[in-house]
Amino acid sequence: MKRRTLLALAASTVLLAACGQSTTTETDTKATDSTATGGSDLLQRINNGGTINVGTEGTYPPFTYHDESGKLTGYDVEVTRAVAEKLGVDVEFKETQWDAMLAGLDSKRFDMVANQVSLTTPERQAKYDKTTAYSWSGAVVLAPTDDNRYSSWEGLKGLRTAQSLSSNYGELAQRYGAEIVPVDGMAQAVQLVKQDRADFTMNDNLAVLDYLKKFPDSGLEIKLTAPASEQTGSGLVLIKGDDAVVAKLDEAMAELQADGTLTKLSEEFFGADISKQK
């Protein structure tokens, strides 16, 4: 009798263990299936026509700023709105200071960043993903329109350039053998060139295009542009790991490139097409 009782208890224990194992496996399978079919929270919101939250500065014209009516606009902002329209979702912008931009992304205050963030360091590349670039930039040489000495970068040797001593562009100019005329920033550099106290200045392509759009009668023009291999592309930035979302964003970006939207927005804010690598 005692033996039968022990056998019954043992059988019950095995049965319960088996049931428990089966339940756990079934739960795990459901969780795996849910992830596979539904994806991340962000992917589900995109698939269901929800809202995406995007971090941006709001004080960095012409990329992200407020116009005279107070509306948030700028190249990065309007590109993001166009992407959202392609995806069939709403977009809510979260304005954040530049220094807190990536921290806000890390804490999931927003889903992505649209603010000319470049993933140029190994640390950023390991932590974040970037969509297909919607803007390309690199060093350019700005000089008087009637100055024809700029046929090559090597031709900068011996010429005077107005540069901030701590800038990357100052270092680049020195590598080409140019003589540095120290300045505090781009505004002063431009004035020295216009006053013939410097032959040229070197700066970021987008910053120079913005200047030329605002001052079309400056008498200055871009003489040299960095080769494509030295240009940097900026796209929407997300925390690494949501490949399905990046794929959807890339698809929307490709459509905007194909239908001319990116070119149109580029010319609206810069007077030139910055959406293609040249």
Across the chain, which has 278 residues, the per-10-residue mean pLDDT values are: 38 40 40 51 97 96 96 98 98 94 96 90 92 96 97 96 88 94 94 98 95 96 92 95 97 98 97 92
pLDDT score, position 30: 36
Q: What pLDDT is stored for residue 38 in this prediction?
A: 55
25 and 18 in contact (C-beta within 8 Å)?
A: no
Q: What per-residue confidence (pLDDT) applies to 29? A: 40
The two beta strands, 160-163 and 179-182, are parallel
Give the alpha-carbon dihedral of 225, 230, 235, 237, to 10 degrees: -150
Nearest residue to 268 (alpha-carbon basis) of 74, 102, 3, 9: 74
pLDDT of 23: 41
Per-residue pLDDT, 88 = 98
Distance CA 144, CA 18 (A): 83
Residues in the chain: 278
Q: What is the pLDDT of residue 56?
A: 97
Distance of CA 117 to the CA centre of its chain: 4
